[in-house]
Amino acid sequence: MSGRIAVFGAGYVGLVTGACFADLGHRVVLRDVLPEKIEVLRRGEIPIYEPGLDALVERNRDRLTFTTEVAEAVDGADFVYVAVGTPPTYSGDADLSAVWRVVDELPALDRRIVLVMKSTVPVGTGDKVRAALDARGLTNVGYVSNPEFLAEGTALHDFMSPDRVVVGAFDPADAGVVAELYATLTAPIVRTDVSSAEMIKMASNAFLSTRISFINEIANVCELVGADVTAVAEGMGLDHRLGRHFLKAGIGFGGSCFPKDISALKQLAGNSGYHFQLLSSVIEVNELQKRRVIGKLQKHLGDLRQRRVALLGLAFKPGTDDMREAPSLVLASRLLAEAAEVRTWDPVASAEHLLPAATQCPTVEKAVEGADAAVIVTEWPELADLARAEIRDLMARPLIIDGRNLLDPEQVRRAGFAYECIGRPSQTAAAPGYSAE
Ligand SMILES: NC(=O)c1ccc[n+]([C@@H]2O[C@H](COP(=O)([O-])OP(=O)(O)OC[C@H]3O[C@@H](n4cnc5c(N)ncnc54)[C@H](O)[C@@H]3O)[C@@H](O)[C@H]2O)c1
């Protein structure tokens, strides 16, 4: 069945959802409140960096339109998808103001439509939206929770080949028509009640975050006892009960989802009378993990005052320009607080507004020139050959802190660098020609 779909919110999720549904044969109207974003899209440009999205939008131009107008978006629509942001508030709860704006702006219609929640919202939101719709007499508006699990950088693949599609509804008929939208995909459809669908999303992100904080703590212990966390993770991951995913030690997770979603779940539990102790630890471990790089730098450089440090990679992970909750921001801010000089490089992300005191460089070479240390913050493939003579000769001191275990330790050391990584045996003796002052 092909339907007419209005998607509210033309961000990472809304754009991908809209373009993918168009590719599946549906007619899609994307609505955003930012006129400049809609202008850019109408010109055929893509306002975010997501591999393959420009080509997908171009290929489906006939089935995709863009507007700022609610009336134009819902005109003839069978589904109104909500893909607006739900950022954290100061209290750690999710800010649902954009979601409520969509609900409040929904006009009364003389036909049945289904309001579908793609945004990540706390458990109980669906109940509140249903009550609000009923209070307005909009009983012909169905409500379905259809959370999104895509990851930036692989978003198109994740949407088109999901592990599962979760559909939580009050009315089985609404669940049926939403499930039908995905009929051509091979993914299993998990049909459930609205609250459980909301919890599947929150619990999934919380569990993935927990795995990351767990392996990061294992890495920290590995450093103390001389084990290699990459070998440990490999050996653990082969156990089918554990699996290999999300067992990569590093400098902690960031991004627009994990930090805010686990915080929202922790707050939701707290607001409901339960202290979610494990999640509190997951959050704390992650915060401390980002800061451990500072200790590694101090081990080699001593006082960081006036030391030049190159942060390589700004985005919270490769394949995206998303800077939300990026560990690079915490790292840069800590370094600046130590009065270090911070140079940055990223192939697509920019932090000029977020980190005005840091100098953003157009190339890796420029960033490391005269640097006392280079820190791999994001494992961009461009950094895989960082440990080469040209880089070593450009630096004031050949020191690499590999926050993502991207490089081969032996090779880096052979190339004459002092090297620190995460949870793998680190070199204690200085590299030839290198001395910490
Ligand atoms: N980014 C991800 O990787 C990801 C993955 C899964 C789920 N999610 C969830 O999806 C939701 C959207 O995330 P995102 O990263 O796409 O956010 P985003 O900030 O990139 O995009 C949100 C868009 O919504 C627009 N908007 C705000 N109010 C609006 C309104 N009333 N009508 C229309 N548009 C409006 C904003 O202008 C913005 O363009 C969040 O709840 C997020 O947690 C995100």
Are 240 and 181 contained in the same domain?
no
- Is residue 429 pLDDT above 60, yes or no? no
- Which of 192, 213, 242 is where one domain is finished? 192
Name the average pLDDT for the chain.
95
Domain CATH number, residue 396: 3.40.50.720
Taking the CA of residue 260 as reference, the ligand 1 atom at the shortest distance is 43
Asked if residue 121 and residue 245 are part of one domain, the reply reads no
Check whether residue 22 and residue 155 sit in a common domain: yes
Domain final residue pick, 164, 192, 220: 192
pLDDT score recorded for residue 427: 56
Residues 234 and 253 in one domain: yes
Q: Do 180 and 252 fall into the same domain?
A: no
Read off the pLDDT of each residue in 320-337 and give the average, rounded to a whole number.
96
Q: Is the pLDDT of residue 437 over 50?
A: no
Rounded-to-integer distance, Cα 50 and Cα 322, Å:
10
Q: Is the CB of 120 under 6 A from ligand 1?
A: yes
Confidence tier at 425 by pLDDT (50, 70, 90): confident
pLDDT value at position 2? 66
Residue 83 Cβ contacting ligand 1 at under 6 Å: yes
- Is residue 319 in contact with ligand 1, taking CB distance under 6 Å? no
198-224 per-position pLDDT tens digit = 999 999 999 999 999 999 999 999 999
- Distance (angstroms) between ligand 1 centre and the Cα of 256 equals 10
Are residue 240 and residue 218 in the same domain, yes or no? yes
Distance from the alpha carbon of residue 234 to the mean position of ligand 1, in angstroms: 35
Q: Are residues 170 and 218 in the same domain?
A: no
Nearest Cα to Cα of residue 153 among 374, 347, 328, 21: 347
**What does the pLDDT read at residue 7?**
98
pLDDT, one tens digit per residue, over 297-317 is 999 999 999 999 999 999 999
pLDDT at 432 over 50: no
Q: What is the pLDDT of residues 216-254, one digit of tens each?
A: 999 999 999 999 999 999 999 999 999 999 999 999 999
What mean pLDDT comes out for the span 256-269? Answer: 95
Atom of ligand 1 nearest to the CA of 120: 41
Whether residues 162 and 202 share a domain: the answer is no
Q: How far is the CA of 307 from the centre of ligand 1 (A)?
A: 39
Share above pLDDT 70 across residues of the chain, in percent, rounded to a whole number: 97
For the CA of 105, the closest atom of ligand 1 is 31
- Residue 361: active-site member: no
* pLDDT band per the 50, 70, 90 thresholds, residue 127: very high
> What's the domain range around 10?
4-192
Confidence of residue 92 (pLDDT cuts 50, 70, 90): confident
Domain stop point among 192, 224, 242: 192
Please tell me whether residues 216 and 249 are part of one structural domain. yes
Report the nearest atom of ligand 1 relative to the CA of 12: 16
Q: Is residue 6 pLDDT above 90, yes or no?
A: yes
Number of domains comprising the chain: 2
Mean pLDDT of 11-22: 98
Is 12 close to ligand 1, i.e. is its CB under 6 Å away?
yes
Q: Is 320 in the pocket of ligand 1 (CB under 6 A)?
A: no
67 lines ligand 1 (CB under 6 A): no
Whether residue 50 has its Cβ less than 6 Å from ligand 1: no
If you average pLDDT over residues 118-146, what whole number do you get?
97
Residues 214 and 132 in one domain: no
The verdict on 261 and 354 lying in the same domain is: yes
* Gap from CA of 87 to ligand 1 centroid (Å): 9
Identify the pLDDT of residue 3: 78
Q: Tell me what pLDDT residue 387 has.
A: 98
23-70 pLDDT, tens digit per residue, is 999 999 999 999 999 999 999 999 999 999 999 999 999 999 999 999
Q: What is the mean pLDDT of residues 164-170?
A: 98
In percent, the amount of the chain with pLDDT more than 90 equals: 95
Confidence band for 1, pLDDT divided at 50, 70 and 90: low
Q: How far is the CA of 13 from the centre of ligand 1 (A)?
A: 6
Per-residue confidence (pLDDT) for residue 28, from 0 to 100: 98
- pLDDT tens for 274-301 read 999 999 999 999 999 999 999 999 999 9
365 and 231 within one domain = yes
